[in-house]
Amino acid sequence: MSLQTIKWGIFGPGWISSKFVKDLAYAEGAELVAVGGRNLEKAESFAKEYNIPRAYGSVQELAQDAEVDIVYVGTLHPVHKENVLALLRGGKAVICEKPFTMNAAEAKEMIELAREKRVFLMEAMWTRFLPPIRKVMEWLADDKIGEVRLLKADFGFDIGWAPESRLLDPALGGGALLDAGIYPVSFASFIYGSEPAKIMSSARIGETGVDEQFSLLFEYEGGRTAVLNGAVQLGMVNDAYIYGTKGYIHVPNFLFGGSATLHAKGAEPESFVDDRLAEGYKFEAEEAMNALREGRLESAVIPLDETLAIMTTLDTIRKQWGLRYPADE
């Protein structure tokens, strides 16, 4: 039996949206019908490249397209709030790229409107939906490594000295924490199922006024910990290790979730390797589509309350550093 077709719109015809669109071709029941951007010419070029029927030059026009069921927002995070609010007011379901917003106050505003309008809203934290990460959660649920006591997860890359880059521009929400750190911070929330009781952190604030690298130590109830690092000026091995009382799990390049290996005490290592053809964005798209088909207003895999809690954690960390953005004013 074929699935109900869900018609997609895209807002923000850029690099990340192109990756998402390519993956939609692998998602059963997905149909791409419209794209919008602040620049109509760019939206039209994107539409031509990906055979999208309609292109718009504003988020308001996309929100008024009666055929669109759900919109993927792939713009820069400083404009997530205004883009998502406009779409929600138009009655559109939304899946919004991470970081969800600039701060918790913006996230709260978006979530409250989605709930008021009774419209589906989800943070596009694609890592959580990848098959190897789902296998990791299955191993944890089956007590394969006992009680998790320590998580180590890193995500860092080196863009070189590029003060003109958005990644180093405070006006565009630059810095390692929001762009890179959202992955290990969200992963810690996913693994432990709660936010830390205590947060210790250190950051290198560069010449442009944003964090170029950071280290975090999260403490949870019972002395459990997470050690997280990130950078935009430091190439790192972006693996995750989950250590429990009966073994550990290794996830190479964890945010891309290509494989995972279980090392349980007294047993041979067990590996799960994903040979997917799609890059992996299709899985978050399928979660959103299934939610619409089933009448759900949010995802159980990344609930809105957890998204808000994660943004609150990021706010707490930035406060420790004295790092503020224009959106915080």
What whole-number distance in Å separates Cα of residue 4 and Cα of residue 293? 7
Residues 307-329: tens digit of each pLDDT: 999 999 999 999 999 999 999 98
Residues 55-97: tens digit of each pLDDT: 999 999 999 999 999 999 999 999 999 999 999 999 999 999 9
What whole-number distance in Å separates Cα of residue 145 and Cα of residue 116? 41
Domain ranges within the chain, ordered by starting residue: 6-124+280-286, 131-273+310-328
CATH ID of 6-124+280-286, from 3.20.20.450, 3.40.50.720, 3.20.20.140, 3.40.50.300: 3.40.50.720
What whole-number distance in Å separates Cα of residue 247 and Cα of residue 123? 31
Taking the model in full, what pTM does it have?
A: 0.96
**Residue whose tokens read 């997609």:** 8
Whole-Å CA distances, 293 to 30, 72, 81, 117, 290: 12, 17, 26, 18, 5
What pLDDT is attached to residue 1? Answer: 59
What whole-number distance in Å separates Cα of residue 246 and Cα of residue 300? 28
Nearest to 226 by CA among 237, 238, 248, 241: 241
Percent of the chain residues past pLDDT 70, beyond the cut = 99
What pLDDT is attached to residue 198? Answer: 98
CA dihedral 83, 179, 114, 308 (to 10 degrees): -150
Distance in Å from the first CA to the final CA of the chain: 52
What whole-number distance in Å separates Cα of residue 130 and Cα of residue 183? 14
What whole-number distance in Å separates Cα of residue 64 and Cα of residue 21? 21
**Residue whose tokens read 């890193």:** 154
Which 3 state secondary structure label does DSSP give 253? coil
What pLDDT is attached to residue 329? Answer: 83
Residues of the chain where predicted confidence (pLDDT) is lower than 70: 1-2
Count the alpha carbons within 13 Å of 284 in the hemisphere toward its beta carbon. Answer: 26
The domain made up of 131-273+310-328 has a fold known as Dihydrodipicolinate Reductase; domain 2 (3.30.360)
Give per-residue burial for 150-179: e unless 16+ CB within 10 Å, then b: ebbbbbbbeeeeeeeeebbbeebbbbbbbb
